[in-house]
Structure 1
Amino acid sequence: MRLQDRVALVTGGASGIGRAIVRGYAREGAHVVIADVQPAAEAEQEVVVQGRRALAVKVDVARREEVEALVRQVLDAFGTIDILVNCAGVQSNQPFLEATDEDFDRVLAVDLKGTFNCAQAVARGMIERKRGKIINIASQSGALYVRNLAPQYHAAKAGVIHLTRVLAVELGRHGINVNAIAPALVLTPPLKARWEASPEMRAYHLGKVALGRAATPEDIVGPAIFLASSDSDYVTGHTLFVDGGFTAQ
């Protein structure tokens, strides 16, 4: 088991990609904290049935005080945080000319500021221990244009990718690895709903994928395990595009 007895904090772990990573980390021997604005009892139980310790905490990552309270709670319960996965995020489909201040602020607050808040709060303890793994979930839309996704979402995910590079340099001397995963077209309920409403959009999106299919949340788990394990000890500042060849075209 590559993550035996490590303690992982996964934001956005109640559903989708985050929940798949929670299950994958537990299979690899990690104890997992699931932080989400949504109820996470089911995800918590999926860890427990594998014989690992688990904790579900309700938190809004856009609120610094909630994040700092979360980290204190995790340290009190587990004594350490070895792995942080910043997976909490929201999307937007608002066209540029119709985008509101409220939607712009909402997307940037969760997707970019939330990633910053969690990394900052967790990194302090990692610096003391001189080791740690931080994994930010970005998107292919942080590197190129993706139709039907709002400009504010593109901007937030581009910020996550560059923040990953900056933090890798800032924290590298402390033995902390910081990397990102950029998925594309992960078949979660929001994407399914959009495709059902627009077969044309589905055809357009799949036409951009070299492998010809959407990803499942489980497709992201292997890369997330790699970046959390000792196998990636000399990898930092990198964004791994898990996109079926979307960005290759």
Structure 2
Amino acid sequence: METIFKGKVALVTGGTSGIGRASAVAFAGKGAKVVIVDWIENKETLNLIKASGGEAIFIKCDVSKATDVKAMVTKVIAAFGRLDYAFNNAGIEGTSAPTQDCSEENWDKTIGVNLKGIWLCMKYEIPEILKQGKGVIINCSSVAGLVGFAGLPAYVASKHGVIGLTKTAALECAKLGIRVNAVCPGVIKTPMMDRLTGNKKEAEDQFTNLEPVGRMGQPEEIANAVVWMCSDEASFITGLAMAVDGGFVAQ
């Protein structure tokens, strides 16, 4: 186990599967104590980290609810006494429909988790990270935060909003010791992608064909980028929306 984050605490929302799970495991592999957050009680990521000799806890939280998020950060401090890194990754795809057919319920739920949730997390994370004098926040946007996708108005709006929110927080924190960046994954093989394709080869091929590299990305490839952005090797990077997308937005 590497130790570049030894003694530090990393929080990962949406940490029970996909990109979140890969990132939690990656942080633990670098020596961080990891806080796995999700709205579903699922200890698989926790068990993976503990089995490899890492230290972690699980906290159940709905990131769209202020009371939940405030309590979540309080539990982090009670357990570990500090917070150094946060990967605000929790998100949902919502329901696919053209803009005129998008329901108010779908709009509110998608924006509530994907955008409001990240704002709430930063609202309560920043004061605790400030106490350490240094730290990093990474927010999960998407290539859908950089370009449009027909049929996903709420999702696309939420992910564009994440980038604007990230840039604002980065400017506010620039002289306070906290770097704030966004990661913008391309087409990644995750449970969310499985839901979108229904695990049907034809649908999977359609998504794969969107990628210039000719394949979907793996969750670990996003996790590697997140951990790198949190490291001192990225010490001059803040306010960036970094595409990790196999060339998707280069087209």
What's the TM-score bracket when you normalise by the shorter of the two chains?
A: over 0.9
Q: Give the length in aligned residue pairs.
A: 248
Aligned equivalents of 2:57, 2:36: Cα separation in 1: 6
Q: Which residue of 1 aligns with 2:118?
A: 115
Q: Which residue of 2 aligns with 1:207?
A: 209
Q: Which residue of 2 aligns with 1:162?
A: 164
Q: Which residue of 1 aligns with 2:102?
A: 99
What is the Cα deviation at residue 204 of structure 1? 3.7
Secondary structure of the residue aligned to 1:74 is helix
Matched, 1:141 2:144: yes
Task: Provide Cα deviations, 1:130-174, integer angstroms capped at 9, x if missing partner.
Answer: 2111000100001102345x1110000000011111110001111
- Residue 184 of structure 1: which of 179, 183, 186 is its match? 186
TM-aligned CA distance change 1:17 to 1:141, over 3 Å: same
**CA contact 1:3–1:228 (8 Å) conserved in 2:** no
TM-score by length of 2: 0.94
Secondary structure of the residue aligned to 1:129 is coil
Q: Which residue of 1 aligns with 2:20?
A: 18
- Residue 92 of structure 2: which of 90, 93, 117 is its match? 90
What is the Cα deviation at residue 82 of structure 1? 0.4
TM-score by length of 1: 0.95
- Structure 1: gaps of 5 or more residues: none
- Matches for 1:218-237 after TM superposition, within 5 Å: 218-237=220-239
Aligned equivalents of 1:207, 1:42: Cα separation in 2: 32
Q: Which residue of 1 aligns with 2:154?
A: 152
- Matches for 1:21-60 after TM superposition, within 5 Å: 21-60=23-62
Q: Which residue of 2 aligns with 1:244?
A: 246
Aligned equivalents of 1:118, 1:190: Cα separation in 2: 22
Aligned equivalents of 1:177, 1:39: Cα separation in 2: 30
Q: Which residue of 2 aligns with 1:132?
A: 135
Q: Which residue of 2 aligns with 1:73?
A: 75
**CA contact 1:63–1:114 (8 Å) conserved in 2:** yes
Matched, 1:64 2:101: no
CA RMSD, aligned part only? Answer: 1.5
Aligned-residue identity in percent: 35
Task: Provide Cα deviations, 1:161-204, integer angstroms capped at 9, x if missing partner.
Answer: 11111110001111000011100111113323433576554444
Aligned equivalents of 2:76, 2:200: Cα separation in 1: 43
What is the Cα deviation at residue 97 of structure 1? 1.9
**CA contact 1:34–1:40 (8 Å) conserved in 2:** no
Aligned equivalents of 1:134, 1:14: Cα separation in 2: 19
What is the Cα deviation at residue 95 of structure 1? 2.3
Aligned equivalents of 1:211, 1:168: Cα separation in 2: 31
Residue type of the partner of 2:188? Answer: V
**CA contact 1:9–1:85 (8 Å) conserved in 2:** yes
Residue type of the partner of 1:113? Answer: K
Aligned equivalents of 1:197, 1:135: Cα separation in 2: 29
Secondary structure of the residue aligned to 1:61 is coil
Q: Quick check: 217-226 or 196-205, which moved more?
A: 196-205
Aligned equivalents of 2:193, 2:10: Cα separation in 1: 27
